[in-house]
Structure 1
Amino acid sequence: MSAEILMNVTPTEMRVALIENGILQEVHIERQAKRGLVGNIYVGKVSRVLPGMQAAFVDIGLDKAAFLHASDIVTHIEQVEEIDTKPIRKEPDIAKLVRAGQHILVQVIKDPLGTKGARLTTDITIPSRYMVLMPQSPHVGISQRIEDEAERERLKRAAQPYCDEQGGFIVRTAAEGASDEEISRDAAFLRRLWDTIQKRRKGMRKTGLVYEDLNLSCRILRDFVGEPIERIRVDSRLTFEVLQEFVQEFVPELEEALEYYTGDRPIFDLFDVENEIQRALERKVELKSGGSIIIDQTEAMTTIDINTGGFVGHRNLEETIFNTNIEATQAIARQLRLRNLGGIIIIDFIDMQNPDHRKRVLHSLEQALAKDRAKTSINGFTTLGLVEMTRKRTRESLEHVLSSECPVCSGRGSMKTVETVCYEIMREIVRVNRAYAADHFLVYASASVAESLLNEESHALAELEVFIGKQVKVQTEPLYHQEQFDVVMM
């Protein structure tokens, strides 16, 4: 399998595309205005200690002093992602932990909100793809979401040799199934990073940023350590130079793959990435055979429906259905990665009577999902013939990143018909006429509704005028959407 990473960088946004065998598989987007402080590490100076609140205010070089509670000074492993131990410790006196004027190393755990400053902790944690480094704890923790006991023991044995007085590790859920070599590579990366942070801290004479959590471009390279990436093309000279330094220091195996893109075409025009992103926002995905899949995201789950469409096959109906379902499994696996759909997913394959066909479709889906870096679990066919599965959420879906709720339908995905709105207007006129005295009425409505009132519904409107004994005028309001109208008394 050939894999390539394309990075499109602008002053306000960074987009990264993963291409496998010439086809877009994943898209990652980060916008400069929405980058937070969480994960950043600072050298801070304690400005005030408040025993009554068991907290201190710390100057870390931002506009507002940050907040450090006594409970965040004690090592709290439970703050780190998904681990299996939660030690309970008696909260000590803040006055015995820090003093005004003291310089301390802190990490942001909550961004500033409103008038409040950022929230801090002294329990530094540095995440990587498979592990989280805990410099203040020499132990190994395993994610609770890894349920297989044999796998938990294997991962613990793999991580244990790298724990010492310099710190320990939490093995993340993503490490399930990772090889000992991958665990070793992750541990070495985190050790090098922590050594760099300590050197920077020693060289600092005042408060300020020691370590900024990786931006998208560096996180991508961190997460793809060990993957067979042939080329990494970047269309920004500045970002390319930053990545050069990063790979030389932390992931030298990717140094030869990194290159600066100087082509005349926009980098996302390669492999038709730009159009693929637009298609990934649509409900319907066309299959090469003529069939299609329909994807709907809801609050509770994602549903996927498969249709044969124009595919008529060559043998019989059962073979046609089976072939369409097999093709759909590949498309579904790709769309889950591309759109980054997570949580509960229900797939409605076309009904198959042959049990062997069902097994082969499930096997095909499992094989297609094996390439996905996010954890997936397939529960098989239900009694209703639906396939239930889950996929771990790693970030917001592509639709939520790029789209917002429709202001017209408020996310319903449908609008009231013109006929329905016309009848609502007539009922509103009757209601207002009974409640208030008016000489006549003026209706402001969208172009389509106004046209219907003056044409198809003109007879009903004339009967309404006779019923209330008053004239009703209709005026088009170009800025109104189909459901919007106003009834004005004159």
Structure 2
Amino acid sequence: MANEILVEVSSEETRVAIIEDRELVEYYTEKAYGGRLVGNIYKGKVQSVLPGMQAAFVDIGYSKNAFLYIKDAVADKFNINPHTDDDTYSKNSENDSDDKVDNLDNFDNCKRSNDIFKENSNYKNDISYNSKDYNINQILKQGQVITVQVIKDPMGSKGPRVTTHITLPGRYVVLVPGVDYIGISRKISNDYEKNRLKKIAEKIRPSGMGIIMRTIAEGKDEEDFQNDIKFLTQLWQNILEREKGEHAPRCLHTDYNLLFRTIRDFFTPEIDKLIINDLDQYKKALEYAEVVSPALKSRIELFKKSKSLFDYYQIDYRLKRDLARKIWLKCGGYIIIDKAEALTVIDVNTGKYIGADNPENTIVKTNLEAATEIARQIRLRNIGGIIVI
């Protein structure tokens, strides 16, 4: 087993496991009905504005009001958070909007974060604004109707977190409506390749919209991006049409299902196989791959063994072992992972490992193994926020 994606489909849910170098590194699950909100776009109504918290609560039609922090409501320079696997970006401000893509309509119908800011504050004609310079009640008013996108699912007693900075991810690019902006994934380290992709982005970027080049864009030619641009701009126009209705709150766009997102975001040339246990979903996967990565269709396989896919690859056993509070290291040491509401604490211990020569080498070897395992655990558990080690 090298690098594989396993997709197990049942009547109740779809589960995805990503294996790299024989290790389980990511795991996703999605209920057949409802569940994930991240990526969905809503026309919402501001229910309350809280100056003391520099935040607002927005009714998006969910059982709990969504939380909108001021930095997600003000168009801070480069304050863009696309919900994709490309976690961090190298950003370049682009004031020039001469480059155009043919047959695009005007995208000014929708009130983006810039427009909300201009309406409700003492606006100065500047490309960027700093959220620290303003109070939330200068930006938003109770009862105001705004368009937002979910960037974090509800958890426990907390509702979803939303932003006014809309991002639409495609296979190779992320489209950022209403922003003159070009970004390159920081996972692309070669300076020549960054500059090459930036020049392509300048050519294909729709007027008045931003583009982020994703990691998988590395090495691609200009024509490879055309389908992405065409699809995403049409998707944005469809969202704008739905937005024209007066009723709020309501959903304007639901993000695609887990299988589609998996093929779009994770099925790269580095993946040797994508294995699916369901014939209907296997056929859909082939259709999706034809759209986003036709060269990889031959790597999609239908699982035909009598055992369930996850049992065959011992995924449930791995999950139980790898998501435990105590994780053993190969050397005999271990780490303890405790998650609180405000932060995650990780403790490293030498455990059974006593070393062969001196205590310093024992500690160094334990810490080196722990560092590798902690990185995997952060990815597998999708740990964010404050982490104390």
Fold match by TM threshold 0.5: yes
How far residue 288 of structure 1 moved from its aligned partner, in angstroms, is: 2.0
Q: Residue 319 of structure 2 is aligned with which of 277, 280, 291?
A: 277
Q: Match of 1:296?
A: 338
Q: Which runs of 5+ in 1 are unaligned?
A: 43-61, 63-75, 92-106, 111-118, 202-206, 348-490
For normalisation by structure 2, the TM-score amounts to 0.58
Q: SS at 1:342's partner residue?
A: coil
Q: Alpha carbons of 1:8 and 1:273: their partners in 2 closer, same or farther (altered >3 Å)?
A: same
Establish whether residue 17 from structure 1 lines up as the match of residue 58 from structure 2.
no
Q: Which amino acid aligns with 1:181?
A: G
Q: Alpha carbons of 1:77 and 1:334: their partners in 2 closer, same or farther (altered >3 Å)?
A: closer
Q: Conserved in 2, the CA contact under 8 Å of 1:280 and 1:339?
A: no
Q: Alpha carbons of 1:339 and 1:183: their partners in 2 closer, same or farther (altered >3 Å)?
A: farther
In 1, Cα distance between equivalents of 2:225 and 2:337 = 39
Q: Which amino acid aligns with 2:257?
A: N
Q: Conserved in 2, the CA contact under 8 Å of 1:80 and 1:125?
A: no
In 1, Cα distance between equivalents of 2:204 and 2:347 = 47
Establish whether residue 29 from structure 1 lines up as the match of residue 29 from structure 2.
yes
Q: Conserved in 1, the CA contact under 8 Å of 2:6 and 2:274?
A: yes
Q: Alpha carbons of 1:256 and 1:8: their partners in 2 closer, same or farther (altered >3 Å)?
A: same
Q: Which has the larger radius of gyration?
A: 1
Q: Alpha carbons of 1:295 and 1:79: their partners in 2 closer, same or farther (altered >3 Å)?
A: same
In 2, Cα distance between equivalents of 1:278 and 1:185 = 45
Q: Alpha carbons of 1:245 and 1:199: their partners in 2 closer, same or farther (altered >3 Å)?
A: farther
In 2, Cα distance between equivalents of 1:294 and 1:285 = 6
Q: Alpha carbons of 1:257 and 1:200: their partners in 2 closer, same or farther (altered >3 Å)?
A: farther
Q: SS at 1:242's partner residue?
A: helix
- Considering Cα pairs closer than 8 Å and 6+ residues apart, tell me whether 1 or 2 has the greater RCO: 2
Query: 1:114-162, CA deviations, whole angstroms, 9 ceiling, x for partnerless residues?
Result: xxxxx9x9x985223664325777x43449x99x9x99x9464452121
The count of corresponding residues between Structure 1 and Structure 2 is: 284
Q: Which runs of 5+ in 2 are unaligned?
A: 44-60, 62-74, 82-90, 96-112, 120-146, 151-161, 240-244, 246-250
Q: Conserved in 1, the CA contact under 8 Å of 2:178 and 2:210?
A: no
Q: Conserved in 1, the CA contact under 8 Å of 2:8 and 2:310?
A: yes
Q: Conserved in 2, the CA contact under 8 Å of 1:23 and 1:271?
A: no
Query: 1:428-447, CA deviations, whole angstroms, 9 ceiling, x for partnerless residues?
Result: xxxxxxxxxxxxxxxxxxxx
In 2, Cα distance between equivalents of 1:332 and 1:185 = 40
In 1, Cα distance between equivalents of 2:221 and 2:181 = 13
How far residue 13 of structure 1 moved from its aligned partner, in angstroms, is: 1.3
Q: Alpha carbons of 1:136 and 1:338: their partners in 2 closer, same or farther (altered >3 Å)?
A: closer
Q: SS at 1:255's partner residue?
A: helix
In 2, Cα distance between equivalents of 1:24 and 1:129 = 23
Higher relative helix content: 1
Q: Match of 1:231?
A: 273
Q: Match of 2:286?
A: 244
How far residue 80 of structure 1 moved from its aligned partner, in angstroms, is: 8.9
The CA RMSD over aligned residues, in Å, is 4.7
Q: Conserved in 2, the CA contact under 8 Å of 1:162 and 1:168?
A: no
Q: Conserved in 2, the CA contact under 8 Å of 1:140 and 1:160?
A: no
Q: Match of 1:261?
A: 303
Q: SS at 1:229's partner residue?
A: coil
Q: Match of 2:212?
A: 171
Q: Which amino acid aligns with 1:34?
A: G
In 1, Cα distance between equivalents of 2:221 and 2:34 = 34
Q: SS at 1:299's partner residue?
A: coil
Q: Match of 1:379?
A: none
How far residue 4 of structure 1 moved from its aligned partner, in angstroms, is: 0.3
For normalisation by structure 1, the TM-score amounts to 0.47
Q: Residue 213 of structure 1 is aligned with which of 222, 234, 255?
A: 255
Task: Give me the identity figure in percent.
Answer: 33
